[in-house]
Every structure is written in C-alpha cells, then in structure tokens.
C-alpha cells in the first residue's frame, strides 16, 4: 500500500474511533442516520416506511393503515364505543441479522487515493449497494436461512422474507394465483389482447375490486407497481394498436403520466419481471432494530485488503394486508409475438 493511501486510511480509522469508540457499536441516533443514509441512495426506498424498533420480535405497527371511523350508536340502549383506525389482526415481525460485509484491495485503494474524495466515493458506493440489496430482499425474499448462498440465490432470496412472500404466508387471498393455504394453483392468466385480461388496466381493476378491502379501493395513495416484462408488454401493446383513436389517447397517457387504471404506475428495481402489485408506498415497511448495528473495519495484511464487517437486524413488513393486491408472477402469460402465449 502506498504511503498516501496509508495516511488517508489512518485518518479514517482515527475518525471512526473518535465517533464510535473501539467497539464501533452505533447508538440509536447514529444508527438511524446511518440507516437512512443508505435508503437515500434508491428512489423507491425513499418512499416506503423505515421504522426503528426496540425489540427483535413484536407486533407490526400499522403505520399508514386506516379504517372507517364514521358510525352512530343508540345511546338509549348502549354506550358509544371507539374504534382504532389502525387496529389490525395479529401479525408478528422478526428482525433477522443481516450482514453487509465487504472488502477492498490495497491495489484498488491505491488507484483511488489520489482522488480528493476517494473516501466519500467508496462510502457512497457501499451505501448504494446496501440500498439495492434491500430492494432485492423486499421483492424477492423467500426465507431467512442461517447460511446464505449468493450463487443459488442471486437476488438474495434466502436472506430475509420479503413483502410478496410475507403476504403469501399470512394472507394468500390477496394474491391471485394462490389458494387459501398459500399454495400455487395451476391457473394461468393471459395478459394482452384476446387474453383473460385484455389489458393491464383490466387486470388492475380486477385486483382493486376483488382483492383490496372496500375502504381502500378508492384510496388516493394507491400505486400500480409492475415488473420489467409487464411494463414493456403494456407499452408495446399500446404502440401496436395506436392506429385506433382510443389507443392513441391511451398511449399518450401512458408515456406522459404513466398511469394504469387511473393510478400512477411505476417499475420498482428488482421487482419480479411479471409481478403486478397494487398498494401504497407507506403500506410497505422495513423495520430495523435499534442497538443492533455493528461495524468493524480491519486491515488484513495477510490478504492485502481492508475488510468491513457491518450488520443490523431487519424485517420486511406489510402494514395492512387489506391494502395489498397482487398476482403471482409465474402465473402471468404474455403474448409471444406469434399469436400464442408464453
């Protein structure tokens, strides 16, 4: 390692010891700042809830959920009673330890050392990857295995249970394509002209009408979230039929406002390619347990590299299943371009 690189690293290590001490345990306020700094690196993560909790296990908080309050009581017969707008059925969360361990070689550090902001650039790179990891887990997480395998699970399916899987496990009736026990059915749903759903709008209307609780169906914060293949197929179908006046209007609306069924439509990063989810941003949460963030940086001369061991306990939560509707991605069939479906 070059002398300049060594001096910069020594300055960085000294600053960390002053801030965190030898143990480098984050205090709650420091942890919140560090956690939110990573969330700021992804536009979608900025919109969902990030909830600090003190217990590793507990009941979900219910932030962002709401239920009707209006009522009337004959007080000649009984007392008026209050209603909790966020009162939900019992649903436990469990914050699982998640490691964000990394290393960087002396050789790479030397190549960056002459850049005046190399420490900031490296830190931002790590923050951005942590944000991407949380998005992968949120949309693709299936299990929280004791030993994870990135080769077998390239989208971090084994790191934690994400939003879609959490819904399948607890309220499968909210996802088209599963039975009441959360088992995948053999049903398939053709999405496109002459299909079961002639358009993405038709599918969205069906999910809203039949899977969302009645009091959420007209919520003004609902968003249609779709995977890459759904997004592309919808745009292509509008383009192919743009000779019709109604389709030209639909195409203009799509490219100008990107709306489906009158709702904003977005394509979140790392969402399954054929997923369609209707919910609100604030119905999706990541809970992180306070006083569990630990960070240790080691100068490992035996491997010619700097190693960072960083961990925190996290859980992915749906605040109100009644405000979540989806279709099983594997059950969606799209036009194959030859008159069939694939």
pLDDT digits (tens), the chain, 342 positions:
777 777 777 776 666 555 555 457 788 888 888 888 888 888 999 999 999 999 999 998 877 666 677 878 888 888 888 876 665 567 899 999 999 999 989 888 888 777 667 777 777 888 899 999 999 999 999 999 999 999 999 999 999 999 999 999 999 999 999 999 999 999 999 999 899 999 999 999 999 999 999 999 999 999 999 999 998 888 777 666 655 566 556 655 555 568 899 999 999 999 999 999 999 999 999 999 999 999 888 889 999 998 989 999 999 999 999 999 999 999 999 999 888 999
The pLDDT value given to residue 17: 58
The pLDDT value given to residue 235: 74
The separation between the first and the last C-alpha atoms of the chain, rounded to the nearest angstrom, is 54
What is the Cβ-side half-sphere exposure of residue 229, based on CA atoms within 13 angstroms?
14
Q: Which two tokens stand for residue 188?
A: 């398939």
CA 102 to CA 305: how far, in whole Å?
10
Using DSSP's 3-state secondary structure scheme, residue 58 falls into: strand
The pLDDT value given to residue 62: 79
Using DSSP's 3-state secondary structure scheme, residue 332 falls into: strand
The residues, any chain, with a CB within 8 Å of residue 152's CB and separated by 6 or more, are 158
CA 339 to CA 263: how far, in whole Å?
30
What is the full DSSP assignment across 270-319? T--TT-EEEE-GGGEEEEEETT--EEEEEEEGGGTEEEEEEEEEEEEEES
Give domain limits for the chain.
3-64+90-160+283-318, 185-282+323-333
CA 262 to CA 204: how far, in whole Å?
10
The residues, any chain, with a CB within 8 Å of residue 216's CB and separated by 6 or more, are 222, 320, 322, 323
The pLDDT value given to residue 306: 87
* Burial annotation 50-81 (CB, 10 A radius, 16+ → b, else e): bbebeeeeeebbbebbebeeeeeeeeeeeeee
Give CA angle at 25 (23, 26), nearest 5°: 150
Q: Which two tokens stand for residue 314?
A: 């996290």
Give CA angle at 165 (95, 100), nearest 5°: 40
Domain 3-64+90-160+283-318 has CATH 3.30.2400: yes
The residues, any chain, with a CB within 8 Å of residue 72's CB and separated by 6 or more, are none
The pLDDT value given to residue 254: 55
The residues, any chain, with a CB within 8 Å of residue 249's CB and separated by 6 or more, are none
Largest CA distance in the chain: 86
CA 73 to CA 49: how far, in whole Å?
36
């Amino acid at each position: 390692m070059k002398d300049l690189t060594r001096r910069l690293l020594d300055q960085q290590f000294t600053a960390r010891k002053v801030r965190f001490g030898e143990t480098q345990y984050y205090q709650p306020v420091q942890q919140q700042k560090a956690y939110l700094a990573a969330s700021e690196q992804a536009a979608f993560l900025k919109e969902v809830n990030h909830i600090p909790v003190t217990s590793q296990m507990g009941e979900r908080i219910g932030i962002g959920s709401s239920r009707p309050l209006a009522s009337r009581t004959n007080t000649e017969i009984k007392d008026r009673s209050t209603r909790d707008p966020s009162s939900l059925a019992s649903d436990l969360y469990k914050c699982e330890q998640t490691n964000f361990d990394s290393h960087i070689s002396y050789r790479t550090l030397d190549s960056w050392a002459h850049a005046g902001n190399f420490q900031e650039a490296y830190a931002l790179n790590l923050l951005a990857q942590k944000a991407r990891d949380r998005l992968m887990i949120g949309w693709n997480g299936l299990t929280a295995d004791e030993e994870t395998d990135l080769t077998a699970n390239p989208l971090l399916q084994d790191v934690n249970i994400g939003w879609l899987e959490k819904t399948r496990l607890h309220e499968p009736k909210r996802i088209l394509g599963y039975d009441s026990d959360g088992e995948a059915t053999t049903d398939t749903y053709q999405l496109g002209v002459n299909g079961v759903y002639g358009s993405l709008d038709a599918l969205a209307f069906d999910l809203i009408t039949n899977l969302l609780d009645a009091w959420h169906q007209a919520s003004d914060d609902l968003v249609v979230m779709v995977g890459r293949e759904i997004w592309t197929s919808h745009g292509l179908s509008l383009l192919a039929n743009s000779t019709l006046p109604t389709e030209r209007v639909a195409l203009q609306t799509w490219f100008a406002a990107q709306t489906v069924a009158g709702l904003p439509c977005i394509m979140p990063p790392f969402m399954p390619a054929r997923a369609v989810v209707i919910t609100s941003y604030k119905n999706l949460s990541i809970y992180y347990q306070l006083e569990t963030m630990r960070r240790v940086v080691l100068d490992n001369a035996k491997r010619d590299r700097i190693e960072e061991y960083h961990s925190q306990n996290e859980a992915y939560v749906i605040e109100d299943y009644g405000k979540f509707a989806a279709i099983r991605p594997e059950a969606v069939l799209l036009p194959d371009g030859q008159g069939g479906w694939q």
